[in-house]
A = this chain, B = another copy of it.
Amino acid sequence: MPRIVDHEQRRKDIARVVSALVLKGGAEAVTIRAVAQACGFSTAVVCHYFASKHAMLAYTQRLAWQRGLARITAAGAAGAPLEACLAHALPDTPAGWEDWHCWMAFWGQAPETDGIEADWRESIAVSNAVFVDLVRRAQAQGAFDPEEDPSEAATGIQIMLNGIASLVAQGRGEWPAERQRAVLRRQLRRLGYRPAE
């Protein structure tokens, strides 16, 4: 191990291990000791990077939603239609599914957990802001009903994506990628999406 290690990169490496532990054993599989063992570090090293189990979980799910949002905003910046942007949020790949599973394990944490309500609120608010931008852009391009309030539409998009993912996560075999995309398309039109045919 090089003596000088980028702090943030090390946190990301640990987060990858945390995410895999959650997928395999739920949030309860995440302990400082289990993470240290899986990383090949001492618990003291892990504690240097994260103050608590909650901090590890919070950081891991934050990376997961940042990854998802980055894919969406990159597609938007490249001029992709709203539907194609949002398709990046679907759990239709093993990686996407792992990210969603990580979020759901985080949703399932106790509300009394220190700091969790602030983390929950932040991830919802940041996602909402991204969706508001995408809706505004679609409206400017004539691809979304101009009568719809962008903020309400963004909340509708969050409800739709979380709802779809909740069903997919619990019945992956019944939700091949094509079905996920078809439902996304249909529900998005109901929210006001008017794609160019």
Give the interface of A toward B (CB within 8 A).
22-29, 101, 104-113, 117, 120-121, 123-124, 152, 155-156, 158-164, 166-167, 169-172, 174, 183, 186-187, 190-191
Contacts and interface: CB of A to CB of B under 8 A. Distances in A.
A159 B163 contact: yes
Which interface residue of A124, A163, A169, A187 has the most chain B CB atoms within 10 A?
A163
Given A124-B171, A170-B121, A187-B156, A110 B162 contact: no
Nearest to A164: B159
Nearest to A182: B152
Say whether chain A's binding surface is mostly helix, strand, loop, or mixed.
helix
Contacts of A156: 187, 190
Contact of A163 (B27, B109, B163): B163
B26 A109 contact: yes
A112 B166 contact: no
A187 to B, nearest CB: 7
Given A162-B163, A171-B124, A27 B25 contact: no
Contacts of A104: 104, 107-108
Interface core residue of A22, A25, A29 (most chain B CB under 10 Å): A25
